[in-house]
Amino acid sequence: MKIKSLAASVVAILSLAGVANAATTVNGGSVHFKGEVVNAACAVDAGSTNQTVPLGQVKTTTLATAGNTSSAVGFNIQLNDCDTAVSKQASVAFTGTAVSSTYNTALALQGSASGNASNVGVQILDRTGTALALDGSAFSSTTTLNDGTAVVPFQARYIATGVATAGLANAEATFQVQYQ
């Protein structure tokens, strides 16, 4: 009797253990994979493809007259797996909405007019300090490539297009790399 009772207890425990360890599956979401395969001398580093350059806060008195600029903030575009047997130099062009034809080197601010600064744009400077036009065809000065990793340095700054008023001052540009 004890053996039958013990056997029944073991079977009951094992069946409960199976229920307790039953797997539950729920939907978790999506994972998006983005990239590109290129036939070029280098590949643009993933950290450079969607970066944010913090320009910080600048006082309106710094941008009180058209042409005044803020201090420049450095940023880089990193190129990986470079092969100098394919190309020896690289340059970069930026595309974005210019403030106007007079200020074709100044990116227009994003967003609605309410809450934005006014009479301000963002300039992108190459390693020589030249402000780049934003039409996608004005390339920066060339950077000599090395086998492996190469860094193309830039700077960004605010420029006044009139008497600046306070508000958000965000802008966006895309870029392309040209190899020579």
Look at the chain and report how many structural domains it folds into: 1
How does pLDDT run along the chain (180 residues), one tens digit per residue?
566 665 555 555 555 555 556 788 888 888 877 778 888 899 999 999 989 999 999 999 999 999 999 999 999 999 999 999 999 999 999 999 999 999 999 999 997 667 899 999 999 999 999 999 999 999 999 999 999 999 999 999 999 999 999 999 999 999 999 999
b/e map 17-47, b = 16+ CB within 10 Å: eeeeeeeeeeeeeeeeeeeeeeebbbbbbee
Residue 34 lies in a domain: no
Residue 33 lies in a domain: no
Residue 120 lies in a domain: yes
- pTM equals 0.81
Sheet with strand 106-107: strands edge to edge: 43-44, 73-82, 148-165, 118-125, 106-107
Residue 37 lies in a domain: no
CA dihedral 110, 111, 113, 116 (to 10 degrees): -70
Tell me how far the alpha carbon of residue 2 is from its chain's centroid.
Answer: 73
Give 16-33 as a DSSP string.
Answer: HHHHHT------------
Residue 13 lies in a domain: no
Residue 25 lies in a domain: no
Residue 3 lies in a domain: no
Q: What is the pLDDT of residue 25?
A: 85
Q: Give residue 148's domain range.
A: 43-179
SS3 content of the chain, % helix, strand, coil (to 5): 15, 35, 50
CATH number for the domain including 137? 2.60.40.1090
